[in-house]
Amino acid sequence: MDSIPLGLLFFILFVLFLLSAFFSGSETALMALNRYKLKHLVKHNKGARLASKLLEEPDRLIGLILLGNNLVNILITQLATLIGFRLAGNLGVGLATGALTIMLLIFAEVTPKTIAALKSEAVAFPSAYVYTPLLKVAYPLVWLINLAANAIVRLFGVDPKDANLESLNHEELKAVVSESGDNIPATHQDMLVSVLDMQSTTVEDIMIARTDVTGINIDDDWNDIEEQILHTHYTRLLIYQGQLDNVLGFVNIRSLLPLLHEDRLSRDDLTETIRPAYFTPAGTVLTQQLINFQSEKRRAAIVVDEYGEIQGIVTLEDIMEEIVGAFSPTLFNGELIPQDDGTIWVDGSMHTRELNRQLNIELPTDGAKTVNGLITEHLGSLPAPGVTVLINGYPLEIRQTRNNAVKTLILYPRIERYIMADNDDG
């Protein structure tokens, strides 16, 4: 070995450092690959296909990488010791050991692994071209090493063959969408998150409450019915007889207006255009209700509880607004009226979830569905006008009550110190 020029030894040491960096970096890159994105890339990228194939048996891949890495590091140690001895005798061996530790850490571990973690695809896919044939060549030795290693792994209750990823749950999927950054526009992210939330939202959460349902009593005076048809803002109206529980069905206002303008609309004509009502349980999740609307070719349904009593109405538009947001801002339809002093007048029948979404606030939604219900549930009774209740840091001042319900209230800006006190108490 003394006859080998030092220049050649340094060159070999440099090459070994590159190999060590390759093994360390490629291992990190392959393990850091996004498996779900990889499944998509395999259709278009050969490197991705090879990497995916290697990751199907991670024990063999890791065995191959560690075999190569350890072999190269051992050679680096021996070669550095030889160079140090030739340069400065026993003192050179000691200096070489110290310098080698730092150099291996920086150039063969930290640097390549950091690059690989940040650019996993750029490192992993080319590396797969190297490891695929190398695994075939070294397979007998890798198999023998893995045979012993897997036996130890099984002692810890881990199956080395179980390389499949578990499916992402609801919250993990939301996190993936939210962290997609510029890859998905913010508006699209909001829509995707809303679609995911639909699985945990029921029609009861978004329905028009029974007290706010607008309909036509077929027994009313005909002139009143005509006025109601002319001035309604809805394209479909509920038709009932006597009381709301006696539902006849829905009518499409657009089909009635031509007859009404020609003064040819009669009570019989109105009755003949009624389409039988479609009922849905209050606990139906929105994803299922959307499918139901599609299969039934409907755009509105009457929501009933477990006893068959009418709770409200849900429409296709209500579900679509859960995904894309309100088609017309609530601030213009009277449910929310902002004031110059920063307070907001709120209609008590408004859904709490809709209020949270419109104002980006955080009132509780796990109990009562409307703001009126939230307040009465919190207090355990109907408050008198002028009473202010603090819920989750938001002062709510009751301004008007009617028919055993809060009709109007004022929402004040959030008080942060009360939030901290609530958290300490809870």
Check if the beta carbon of residue 337 is closer than 8 Å to that of residue 345: yes
Please tell me the predicted confidence (pLDDT) of residue 27.
92
Please tell me the predicted confidence (pLDDT) of residue 426.
46
Residue 109 to residue 115: CA distance in whole angstroms: 10
Task: Give the model confidence (pLDDT) of 373-408 as tens digits.
Answer: 999 999 988 888 889 999 988 999 998 887 788 888
Please tell me the predicted confidence (pLDDT) of residue 49.
92
Does the pLDDT of residue 251 top 70, yes or no? Answer: yes
Q: Residue 162 — very low, low, confident or very high, per pLDDT cuts 50/70/90? A: low
In 3-state terms, the chain is what percent helix, strand and coil (to 5)? 60, 15, 25
Region 312-341 average pLDDT: 72
Q: What are phi and psi of 138, to 5 degrees?
A: -95, 10
Residue 293 to residue 277: CA distance in whole angstroms: 12
Residue 424 to residue 397: CA distance in whole angstroms: 25
CA distances from 378 to 144, 262, 362, 391 (A): 67, 53, 15, 8
Q: For residue 200, what is the DSSP state?
A: G
In terms of pLDDT, which residue wins out, 326 or 412? 412
Region 215-224 average pLDDT: 91
Please tell me the predicted confidence (pLDDT) of residue 231.
82
Please tell me the predicted confidence (pLDDT) of residue 153.
79
Please tell me the predicted confidence (pLDDT) of residue 186.
74
Interacting residues of 207 by C-beta distance below 8 A, sequence separation 6+: 282, 303, 311, 312, 313, 314, 318
398 three-class SS: strand
Task: Give the model confidence (pLDDT) of 112-133 as tens digits.
Answer: 999 999 999 999 999 999 999 9
In terms of pLDDT, which residue wins out, 182 or 147? 147
Residue 208 to residue 215: CA distance in whole angstroms: 12
Residue 364 to residue 356: CA distance in whole angstroms: 9
Does the pLDDT of residue 331 top 50, yes or no? Answer: no
Region 161-180 average pLDDT: 64
A 10 A CB-CB count for 251 gives: 22
Q: Residue 329 — very low, low, confident or very high, per pLDDT cuts 50/70/90? A: very low
CA distances from 186 to 327, 339, 358 (A): 18, 29, 17
Does the pLDDT of residue 418 top 60, yes or no? Answer: no
Q: Where are the alpha helices (DSSP H) in 179-328?
A: 186-197, 203-206, 222-231, 253-261, 267-272, 286-296, 316-324
Residue 111 to residue 159: CA distance in whole angstroms: 32
21 three-class SS: helix
Interacting residues of 203 by C-beta distance below 8 A, sequence separation 6+: 280, 281, 282, 283, 284, 285, 286, 289, 301, 303, 314
Please tell me the predicted confidence (pLDDT) of residue 303.
93
pTM value?
A: 0.54
Region 15-22 average pLDDT: 94
Interacting residues of 146 by C-beta distance below 8 A, sequence separation 6+: 59, 60, 63, 160
- List, in order of start, the domains of the chain with CATH numbers: 6-156 (no CATH), 201-324 (3.10.580.10), 337-411 (3.30.465.10)
Please tell me the predicted confidence (pLDDT) of residue 206.
84
Q: Residue 330 — very low, low, confident or very high, per pLDDT cuts 50/70/90? A: very low
**Cα maximum dimension of the chain:** 117
Does the pLDDT of residue 207 top 70, yes or no? Answer: yes
Question: Which tokens belong to 176?
Answer: 């993936």
Closest CA to 301 of 204, 224, 370, 420: 204
Q: Residue 340 — very low, low, confident or very high, per pLDDT cuts 50/70/90? A: confident
* Mean per-residue pLDDT over the chain, rounded: 84
